[in-house]
Structure 1
């Protein structure tokens, strides 16, 4: 038998360092491969959106001050302190970040509109009970990130008393909707407003939804016409009809969890033409699916990590909504 000579101090130190590195690598690999609940930049089709960037910050607590602060296309960061009442919507200009202060700032009674805008971030706001309008409307706008907001109304009125929570229409493009809560509402998120708008919308309406919590929202989770949607790592509870692909839209529905939901995904309702859907790794929780056309959108053109459905509920309930940044 050959006897191995004793190791020197340097050799022992090297071995300890290597062992520690190996243990660290194993530890990292053992963790759930989920997105951070406080991402500093958007993942998905909205990647590259910077909003106001490092521009000077203005903090507002009144509606008039907010309206003044968000106009124009000059780079700006606007912090909303407290809950502001409004009627209708306020237009937000390009190159803007709107950021709620703390966990309870935002708007009630109305919402925000992005129209002919580009490079806008909406984060950490509570927007509730936008009567007769959307909580957030995106029209003819590109490069948008809607993140960590708490959006809600109630279901005590008819389905048209409020409109959508996040509606994305008129050829808007490159949008990410992440880590938001959608609560107590009839019509969650409409992408593409009409069957008759193919000439404007075709080739646009590229939207990513990830790590959102839809709780007691009846439908449009989301409803997508003409565009391309990636819906991954979302938690849907209490829906009638959740994901709805129509008018030739392409949807990749990946690693989501559905509970107390009747129809998780449909491609063949309420439009002149069916949509397409690919399903991958979802936990349907007993919900049915209606897939008349399997689509060709199977691999998004961006880098992302979809955590498995088994860890989605913990991630989303722990990290979605205002006050979770």
Structure 2
């Protein structure tokens, strides 16, 4: 019988360093930028995604204005000011950049759907408590960058009261998920929705996750079927099962940190066919691994720089989430 480390829920105290910031401002010194703040383009499989590019931005603060602003395939940049309540999901058109204004703008009660679109950027949003739906759904879409968002619900309801935080399905392709905070949720990020969808998904679902902070997310960090996933420099705290490769998926799990986690990487749970995983440079923190098949995906087809696991927790906790651009 496999023995797992005990799982306890924890909350981290965050020190703001306000006194140091005040002294720096008084002295006329430049303030340090959070890690990842300088990124103006995606790294990974989503490279080349530009969204609305340099198109002049429109700022919206109501649901009606937001729905109107993100409709259609023309190039557009939409700034969301304030927290907008919604139910269900709002469909987003192609060639769109959506960015929150400040640290606390976004949506509550529902989320965004990218369906049969291309070239979409979603940044700096707070999306919380999307009831019976995903915070962000990417469906049959290509070239997507999901960056510096804070995505959450709560663990007070059953695991099906909310759905996923970021779900990528129906043959979607070339997606980067970077510098986000995922927290207080059951099912984090599902890539490939069904064991029976090989005909649509095989050869697609190329997804990069880097520098994300998963805090008290139970599982699917991520769960990947059929596709190819690169999971590097992420910080996972408080998971039951984190990375899950299934149905022949290929996963490269590189230089991540796991804490208070039962199973860091698995290839043999809950599917008809096991997946594949390669692991290198990770700090497991005592978590178990259940890798039945080692895969062939060892070198991504793009340029990137993976920092050592020893610096990941500091980089991610200082740089991930909304308000860190």
* TM-score with structure 1 setting the length: 0.89
Q: Which residue of 2 aligns with 1:132?
A: 132
Q: Which residue of 1 aligns with 2:214?
A: 214
Q: Cα deviation per residue 1:140-162 (whole Å; 9 max; x = unaligned)? A: 00000000000000000000000
Displacement, 1:36?
3.2
Q: Which residue of 2 aligns with 1:112?
A: 112
Q: Which residue of 1 aligns with 2:166?
A: 166
**Which blocks of at least 5 consecutive residues in structure 1 are unaligned?**
1-33
Q: Cα deviation per residue 1:282-311 (whole Å; 9 max; x = unaligned)? A: 000000000000000000000000000000
**Whole-angstrom CA distance in 1 between matches of 2:238 and 2:111:** 24
1:102 matches 2:102? yes
Q: Which residue of 1 aligns with 2:285?
A: 285
RMSD across aligned positions (CA): 0.9
Q: Which residue of 2 aligns with 1:9?
A: none
**Whole-angstrom CA distance in 1 between matches of 2:164 and 2:149:** 14
1:249 matches 2:249? yes
Query: Contact 1:35–1:305 at 8 Å: present in 2 too?
Result: no
Q: Which residue of 1 aligns with 2:47?
A: 47
Q: Cα deviation per residue 1:179-230 (whole Å; 9 max; x = unaligned)? A: 0000000000000000000000000000000000000000000000000000
Tell me the secondary structure at the aligned position of residue 114 of structure 2.
strand
Map 1:144-223 onto structure 2 (within 5 A). Answer: 144-223=144-223
**Whole-angstrom CA distance in 2 between matches of 1:54 and 1:321:** 23
Q: Which residue of 2 aligns with 1:121?
A: 121
Map 1:270-281 onto structure 2 (within 5 A). Answer: 270-281=270-281
Map 1:284-323 onto structure 2 (within 5 A). Answer: 284-323=284-323
Q: Which residue of 2 aligns with 1:76?
A: 76
**Which blocks of at least 5 consecutive residues in structure 2 are unaligned?**
1-33
Displacement, 1:35?
7.0
Displacement, 1:76?
0.1
Q: Which runs of 4+ in 1 moved over 2 A?
A: 34-38
Query: Contact 1:35–1:306 at 8 Å: present in 2 too?
Result: no
Query: Contact 2:245–2:274 at 8 Å: present in 1 too?
Result: yes
**Whole-angstrom CA distance in 2 between matches of 1:153 and 1:250:** 29
**Whole-angstrom CA distance in 2 between matches of 1:35 and 1:81:** 24
> Number of aligned pairs?
292
Based on CA coordinates, which of the two structures has the bigger radius of gyration?
1
Query: Contact 1:172–1:205 at 8 Å: present in 2 too?
Result: yes
Tell me the secondary structure at the aligned position of residue 312 of structure 2.
helix
